[in-house]
Amino acid sequence: MTTETIVRKLRRLDLSKYPKEEIKYLLEQLELKLYCITYNFKLKVFLRVRRNENNSESYINVSDYSYKPFEKNTEYCRASIPNKSMFYASVVLENNFDSEVRCRLKNICAFETLPLIQDPLSIDKQKISYGLWQLNGSINLLTILDFKNYNKNPKIKEMLNHYIGESTAYNVKESEILSNFISEEFTKKCEKDYEYMISAIFSDLLCNNDSFDGILYPSVKKDYKEFNVALKPEVMGKMELLAVEENIVHIENRTQADIKSHSEGKIDKINKKITYNLL
């Protein structure tokens, strides 16, 4: 089957019937290696955010800022299947980490995490917790490129141009068909877990390959201008939690989310515990 035929068959599937084996079979027919573009980070910091259940709850364990435990991951997510997990975070592809970059990261995370921000009629507030992680070492990430929206982000354009320059015309054509489809799956708005099935199974197949430590994909909620990552749990052995912070997000409408620091965490690296001081 050609890539175009496989993508057409995937589009026609009724995901509400949870066709796991059909999706897996079709994706396994693809030459996924044609699509594999790795990215080497210069800035190795990642911001993980969690929405607090209520405004009085605090996360007191270092593990609370890591990936969801396998047994608690019972549904399909953007890049993970049930009973497996990934570490989700946001990242900016810059060479420095100043206050402006940190603010951008916090903003990305808020938009990715809080559905209230996406509601144009929202007037509310929500407590969220940020964990800033540093990578000590190197990782290889598969990059989800979007041929249709590359002009929205110079980094995507840069990576895409490099890939085209290193590939044959056949590879580029096949990759464009696949990448546009997978990009749509990674960036589409989902309300039911089965709507994530294609991107989740795609991620699981690729991350079973030891060549990749995770996936880098653009944030559709930030109009492709910023990036998110989904990392294998094993990568956490190379990661160190540098700082944690609780914030109150005041949501006025979908274009304004006022993020105010609430409390700063102190990390006990020996006991893996966190205490908070009000700011």
User: pLDDT (tens digit, 9 = 90+) per residue, 208-250?
Assistant: 878 788 888 877 665 556 788 899 999 999 999 999 999 887 7
Helix 197-207 and helix 169-187: axis angle, to 10°?
130
For 181-218, how does the pLDDT look when each residue is reduced to its tens digit (9 = 90+)?
Answer: 888 898 888 889 999 999 999 999 988 878 788 888 87
Cβ neighbours around 231 below 10 Å, total: 27
Q: What is the dihedral of CA 252, 110, 194, 69, to 10 degrees?
A: -140
How is residue 261 written in tokens?
């620091």
For 72-115, how does the pLDDT look when each residue is reduced to its tens digit (9 = 90+)?
Answer: 999 999 999 999 999 999 887 666 666 766 776 776 666 666 65
Contact predicate 132/242, CB 8 Å: yes
pTM (2 decimals)? 0.82
Would the pLDDT of 153 be above 70?
no
pLDDT of residue 154: 65
Report the DSSP beta bridge partners of residue 77. 80
Domain spans of the chain? 3-220+244-278
Would the pLDDT of 34 be above 50?
no
Report the DSSP beta bridge partners of residue 257. 251
Contact predicate 129/269, CB 8 Å: no
